[in-house]
């Protein structure tokens, strides 16, 4: 369809408004020549300007003192009471300033109790101007501060707590710096609003003249020609503050470039150390949330534990509870000789690395390392170097690749005394080669540290590589826990087998403690704990562990061949009564029909169907 002849409506509408907004300034320039420069009352104008600059600055200081904490509370403590408070403190913004002035007179005027107590000092005085300006301008800062604090990622504040910082210190070292730009912009806006305040000021404090009141009086006495000199201080202040605001809110001029990932990583340099002493690790945690309840428990002596479960099963909640975040009464947490049942996050010796790594965007890697309240900089630097990060000390997180960010977070977490290393989905954001590289680095690290590590993952491969014990979660409950191998070979149910990566499931019966019948008069030798002869079982095999041969294996048949995807080919075989997927390298010679297969006993997962929970 022809588009010619169409009016660009949106640009025209925008341009019209822009022209209207700029036009008064142009008109003002035209009046410069007509202005009565000689007759101007420069002394009166100077005094009024001083009054306005002083009062706006004093009001802004008052607004900052109360408005920044108020903005923080409004952002971080949601609830009906805070909602009501937020509504109330924004009301002055909605009121015509004259009405605000009347309300202030009810409160502070001569006839009010406060007015009588202060002998009228709060009206018709410089203090009165400051109070009127504070009332009208405060919402600008409160709103800006609330939005700026709301944008601070709560994970960063959580991480700061696990690094030993109390709430006041978290506020000063994390929340305030990160919200700083928004707050500064709000302060500038509040100053401008206070500087230009007329309506409330004229009601509360007609004297001494502030600049807007002086302007009004001069206009009434001398008319428009006297106005050009009067406009100068106002325009000057507005220009200065606008320039400052633009400089504050404009994005970082200097953009650091993230370093390369993958093969550019220097190899980790771990030392070989003696295995750490065995210690007890026990926890029992319960949380009742809106629509989700968590009730998990574990007890063992493994030093490397993986929590595996599908999305939304409660893995991160469990990890947060172990870190002492959202601590509740009734928790049980024992590690070695330490009992942390009711210890807060600040007091637990945990190294917590959340899924997003939780690096503070305003700090260089070096300063992240020294951030913990009880940071041992030498130890943190040791981990920094060991994890192959040397040379990146002065980089901020934005200039680090994801893999590097993860390792900085681990070095920071371990750069202080820690008995428990908590890692939430450490590889979730990484591509496959980097994943493998960092998995190897983490494995080496686990050997070197004395801390017990708990790794949250939804990938069974992570659990096999990095855990001795595994806890399988679903719907906030533990489905099974125990040594990785045992849980793999003897999952409690088909669901557990599936969560451990099994794709198909078949039925059979135990013939001997290490032999199962799978239909078609076939039997399979299996490994793992002894089975109960006669028991009905479910069984499956990891799809990538079955080998298809032309000769020398068990008789089977290929019943489906799927096209190769990403260098892997999936076929379905029939073995006994079972139909199982097999994943292997693409093979052009594969045909439907009889084949032979090898099924390693250690790849066969078996569960007792009598004992299987109904959920499976
Ligand atoms: N503060 C909260 N209030 C209410 N429900 C919550 C809260 N935090 C988490 N949940 C709910 O608790 C459940 C478990 O969340 P959790 O983050 O622990 O899952 P997860 O197993 O880590 O999932 P994923 O693998 O997707 O990260 C989810 O249904 C989630 O919506």
Q: Are 439 and 307 found together in one domain?
A: yes
pLDDT band of 276, cuts 50, 70, 90: low
**DSSP for 90-101, written as a single string:** HHHHHS-HHHHH
Q: Are 175 and 237 found together in one domain?
A: yes
pLDDT band of 260, cuts 50, 70, 90: very low
Domain boundary among 249, 284, 309: 249
Is 296 touching ligand 1 by the criterion CB < 6 Å? no
Q: Are 513 and 595 found together in one domain?
A: yes
Q: Are 474 and 498 found together in one domain?
A: no
Q: Are 244 and 358 found together in one domain?
A: no
Task: Give Rg (Cα) of the chain.
Answer: 35
Which residue from 214, 437, 595 is spatially nearest to 205, judged by alpha carbons? 214
**What digits encode the pLDDT tens for the residues 332-380?**
999 988 898 888 999 998 999 999 999 999 999 999 999 999 999 998 9
Q: What's residue 261's pLDDT?
A: 45
pLDDT band of 251, cuts 50, 70, 90: low
Q: At residue 94, what are phi and psi to the nearest 5 degrees?
A: -85, -20
Distance CA 284, CA 298 (A): 7
Domain boundary among 486, 512, 543: 486
419, part of any domain: yes
Kindly report the three-state secondary structure assignment for every residue of 403-462.
HHHHHHHHHHHHCCCCCEEEEECCCCCCCHHHHHHHHHHHHHHHHHCCCEEEEEECCHHH
| CB-based contact 543:570 (threshold 8 Å) | yes
Ranges 56-65, 131-140, 253-262, 361-370: which has the least confidence: 253-262
Is the pLDDT score of 162 beyond 90? Answer: yes
User: Tokens 């900089």 identify what position?
Assistant: 377
Distance CA 134, CA 141 (A): 10
Is 354 touching ligand 1 by the criterion CB < 6 Å? no
Q: Compute the average pLDDT of residues 477-486.
A: 95
Ranges 62-71, 257-266, 508-517, 588-597: which has the least confidence: 257-266
Q: What's residue 437's pLDDT?
A: 80
Cα 458 to ligand 1 centre (Å): 14
Q: What's residue 262's pLDDT?
A: 42
Distance CA 345, CA 208 (A): 54
Share of the chain above pLDDT 90, in %: 63
| CB-based contact 270:447 (threshold 8 Å) | yes
Is 458 touching ligand 1 by the criterion CB < 6 Å? yes
Is the pLDDT score of 36 beyond 80? Answer: no
Q: Which two tokens stand for residue 125?
A: 């005085």
Burial class (CB in 10 A: 0-12, 13-18, 19+), 457: buried
DSSP code for 125: S
Burial class (CB in 10 A: 0-12, 13-18, 19+), 118: middle
Is 315 touching ligand 1 by the criterion CB < 6 Å? yes
Q: Which atom of ligand 1 is nearest to the CA of 458?
A: 25
Q: Are 508 and 429 found together in one domain?
A: no
**What digits encode the pLDDT tens for the residues 532-561?**
999 999 999 988 889 988 888 899 999 999
Q: Compute the average pLDDT of residues 452-467.
A: 92
| CB-based contact 455:423 (threshold 8 Å) | yes
Is the pLDDT score of 616 beyond 50? Answer: no
Q: In a 3-state reduction of DSSP, which class is residue 275?
A: coil
1, part of any domain: no
Q: Are 482 and 497 found together in one domain?
A: no
pLDDT band of 32, cuts 50, 70, 90: confident
List CB contacts of 316: < 8 A, sequence separation 6 or more: 355, 424, 425, 456
Q: Which two tokens stand for residue 316?
A: 């991160």
Distance CA 241, CA 252 (A): 19
Q: Whose CA is nearest to atom 6 of ligand 1?
A: 289
392, part of any domain: yes
DSSP code for 172: I
Q: Which two tokens stand for residue 23?
A: 């036009």
**What digits encode the pLDDT tens for the residues 439-451?**
888 888 888 888 8
Q: What's residue 386's pLDDT?
A: 84
Q: Compute the average pLDDT of residues 86-112.
A: 93
Domain boundary among 249, 281, 315: 249
Q: Whose CA is nearest to atom 20 of ligand 1?
A: 312
DSSP code for 550: S
Is 289 touching ligand 1 by the criterion CB < 6 Å? yes
pLDDT band of 245, cuts 50, 70, 90: confident
Is 309 touching ligand 1 by the criterion CB < 6 Å? yes
**What digits encode the pLDDT tens for the residues 392-415?**
999 999 999 888 998 899 999 989
Q: Compute the average pLDDT of residues 268-282.
A: 66
Alpha carbon 222 to its chain centroid, in Å, reads 60
| CB-based contact 523:511 (threshold 8 Å) | yes
DSSP code for 568: B
- Residue 424 Cα distances to 40, 350, 370, 428, angstroms: 70, 13, 22, 9
Distance CA 140, CA 90 (A): 8
Share the mean pLDDT of the chain: 89
Cα 328 to ligand 1 centre (Å): 17
Q: Compute the average pLDDT of residues 431-460.
A: 85
Instruction: Assign residue 388 a region (left: φ > 0; alpha: ψ between -120 and 50; beta: otherwise).
Output: left
310, part of any domain: yes
pLDDT band of 229, cuts 50, 70, 90: confident
Q: Are 172 and 239 found together in one domain?
A: yes
Q: What's residue 233's pLDDT?
A: 87
7, part of any domain: no
Domain of residue 81: give its range.
28-249
Q: Are 356 and 463 found together in one domain?
A: yes
pLDDT band of 5, cuts 50, 70, 90: low
pLDDT band of 167, cuts 50, 70, 90: very high
Q: At residue 559, what are phi and psi to the nearest 5 degrees?
A: -115, -10
pLDDT band of 271, cuts 50, 70, 90: low
Which residue from 176, 201, 227, 170 is spatially nearest to 34, judged by alpha carbons? 227
Q: What's residue 441's pLDDT?
A: 83
Is the pLDDT score of 263 beyond 50? Answer: no
**DSSP for 514-542, written as a single string:** TEEEEETTEEEE--SSPP-TT-EEEEEE-
Which residue from 324, 276, 323 is spatially nearest to 302, judged by alpha carbons? 276
596, part of any domain: yes
Q: Compute the average pLDDT of residues 253-280.
A: 54
261, part of any domain: no
Query: What is the complex's ipTM, to 2 decimals?
Result: 0.96
Q: What's residue 31's pLDDT?
A: 81
Distance CA 174, CA 181 (A): 13
Q: Whose CA is nearest to atom 28 of ligand 1?
A: 312
Q: Which helix (H) or strand (E) holds 117?
A: helix 113-117
Higher pLDDT, 502 or 48: 48
Distance CA 382, CA 400 (A): 19
Q: Are 496 and 412 found together in one domain?
A: no
Tally of domains in the chain: 3
The CATH number of whichever domain residue 307 belongs to comes to: 3.40.50.300
Q: What's residue 584's pLDDT?
A: 87
| CB-based contact 496:613 (threshold 8 Å) | no
The CATH number of whichever domain residue 55 belongs to comes to: 1.10.3720.10
Q: In a 3-state reduction of DSSP, which class is residue 217?
A: helix
Q: What's residue 275's pLDDT?
A: 55
Q: Are 82 and 200 found together in one domain?
A: yes
| CB-based contact 509:517 (threshold 8 Å) | yes
Cα 286 to ligand 1 centre (Å): 13
406, part of any domain: yes
Q: Are 436 and 553 found together in one domain?
A: no
């Amino acid at each position: 369809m022809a588009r010619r002849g169409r009016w660009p409506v949106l640009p025209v509408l925008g341009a019209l408004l822009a022209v209207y907004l700029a036009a008064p300034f142009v008109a003002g320039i035209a009046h410069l020549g007509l202005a009565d420069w000689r007759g101007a009352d420069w002394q009166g104008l100077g005094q009024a300007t001083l009054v306005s600059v002083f009062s706006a600055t004093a009001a802004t200081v008052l607004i900052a003192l109360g408005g920044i904490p108020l903005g923080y509370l409004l952002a971080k403590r949601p609830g009906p009471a805070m909602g009501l408070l937020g509504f109330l403190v924004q009301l002055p913004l909605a009121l015509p300033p004259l009405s605000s002035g009347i309300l202030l007179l009810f409160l502070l005027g001569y006839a009010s109790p406060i007015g009588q107590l202060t002998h009228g000092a709060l009206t018709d005085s410089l203090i009165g101007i400051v109070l009127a300006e504070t009332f009208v301008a405060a919402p600008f800062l409160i709103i800006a501060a609330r939005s700026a604090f709301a944008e601070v990622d709560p994970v960063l504040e959580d991480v700061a707590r696990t690094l030993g910082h109390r709430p006041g210190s978290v506020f000063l070292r994390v929340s305030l710096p990160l919200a700083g730009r928004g707050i500064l912009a709000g302060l500038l806006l509040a100053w401008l609003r206070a500087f230009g305040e007329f309506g409330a000021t004229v009601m509360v404090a007609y004297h001494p003249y502030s600049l807007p009141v002086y302007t009004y009086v001069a206009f009434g006495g001398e008319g428009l020609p006297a106005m050009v000199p009067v406009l100068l201080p106002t325009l000057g202040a507005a220009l200065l503050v606008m320039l400052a605001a633009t400089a504050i809110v404009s994005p970082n001029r200097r953009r650091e470039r993230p370093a390369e990932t993958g093969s550019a990583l220097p190899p980790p340099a771990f030392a070989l150390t003696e295995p750490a002493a065995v210690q007890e690790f026990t926890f029992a945690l319960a949380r009742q949330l809106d629509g989700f309840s968590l009730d998990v428990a574990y007890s063992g002596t493994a030093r490397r534990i993986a929590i595996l479960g599908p999305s939304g099963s409660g893995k991160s909640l469990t990890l947060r509870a172990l870190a002492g975040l959202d601590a509740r009464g009734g928790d049980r947490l024992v590690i070695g000789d330490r009992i942390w049942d009711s210890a807060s996050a600040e007091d637990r010796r945990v190294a917590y690395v959340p899924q997003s790594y939780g690096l503070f965007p305003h700090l260089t890697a070096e300063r992240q390392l020294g951030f913990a309240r009880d940071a041992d900089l030498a130890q943190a630097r040791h981990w920094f170097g060991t994890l192959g990060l040397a040379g990146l000390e002065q980089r901020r997180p934005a200039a680090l690749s994801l893999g590097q960010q993860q390792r900085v977070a681990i070095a920071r977490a371990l750069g202080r005394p820690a008995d428990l290393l908590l890692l939430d989905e450490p590889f979730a954001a990484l591509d496959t080669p980097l994943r493998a590289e960092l998995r190897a680095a983490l494995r080496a690290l686990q050997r070197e540290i004395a801390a017990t590590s708990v790794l949250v993952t939804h990938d069974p491969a992570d659990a096999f590589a990095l855990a001795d014990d595994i806890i399988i979660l679903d719907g906030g409950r533990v489905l099974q826990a125990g040594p990785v191998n045992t849980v793999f070979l003897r999952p409690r149910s088909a669901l557990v087998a599936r969560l451990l990566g099994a794709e198909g499931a078949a039925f059979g019966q135990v013939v001997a403690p290490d032999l199962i019948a799978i239909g078609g008069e076939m039997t399979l030798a299996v490994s793992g704990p002894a089975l109960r002869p006669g028991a009905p079982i479910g069984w499956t095999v990891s799809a990538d562990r079955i080998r298809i041969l032309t000769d020398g294996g068990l008789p089977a048949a290929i019943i489906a061949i799927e096209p190769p995807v990403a260098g892997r080919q999936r076929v379905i075989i029939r073995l006994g009564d079972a139909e199982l997927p097999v994943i292997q390298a693409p093979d052009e010679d594969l045909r439907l029909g009889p084949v032979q297969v090898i099924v390693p006993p250690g790849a066969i997962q078996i569960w007792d169907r009598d004992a299987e929970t109904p959920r499976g």
